[in-house]
């Protein structure tokens, strides 16, 4: 299994504070003979009558020599997970969890905005100090209720 990111615990606590139940730590995805591990799987019950929301969260700190190198790796990893999840867990949304400082320094810049829009990345922006989610990009959708015909 892969090593945990620096902010793994902070994101896990932030999700719990936001009303999510951690269902997998990590979430194992299998495709062919290969196993992949998304950092966290979580679920939130909407109401007793409706299905809950399910998400997978990949935590990234973007520490290292180059933000662009980290962005390239995180985007590639996200795309691979998204491809596999579309077949094995299509009901689960995939999010990339990043500290608010990374969001400000990278994703509010033209290159980050372009990557966000072009690859349709979904982000959880969190505060590592308070272990609180600042924003969801985009906001998770509540599962719709079937309509009568």
Residue 65, domain CATH: 3.40.1350.10
Q: How many domains does the chain have?
A: 1
**Residue 3 confidence (pLDDT):** 80
Closest CA to 41 of 60, 21, 19, 70: 21
In a domain, 146, yes or no: no
Pairing relation of β-strands 92-99 and 123-127?
A: parallel
In a domain, 83, yes or no: yes
pTM over the 0.75 mark = yes
Average pLDDT, the chain: 91
In a domain, 20, yes or no: yes
In a domain, 52, yes or no: yes
In a domain, 106, yes or no: yes
SS3 129: coil
Which domain, by its residues, includes 90? Answer: 8-137
In a domain, 149, yes or no: no
* Model confidence at 140: pLDDT above 50: yes
């Amino acid at each position: 299994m892969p090593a945990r990111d620096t902010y793994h615990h902070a994101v896990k606590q932030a999700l719990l504070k936001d009303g999510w139940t951690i269902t997998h730590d990590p979430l194992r995805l299998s495709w062919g003979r290969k196993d992949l591990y998304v950092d966290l799987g979580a679920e939130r019950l909407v109401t007793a009558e409706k299905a809950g929301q399910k998400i997978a969260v990949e935590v990234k700190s973007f520490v290292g020599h180059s933000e662009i190198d980290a962005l390239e790796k995180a985007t590639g990893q996200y795309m691979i997970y998204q491809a596999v999840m579309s077949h094995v867990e299509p009901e689960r949304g995939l999010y990339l969890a990043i500290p608010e400082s990374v969001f400000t320094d990278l994703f509010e810049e033209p290159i980050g905005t372009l990557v966000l829009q072009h690859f349709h990345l979904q982000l959880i922006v969190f505060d590592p100090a308070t272990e609180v989610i600042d924003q969801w990009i985009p906001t998770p959708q509540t599962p719709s209720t079937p309509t009568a015909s």
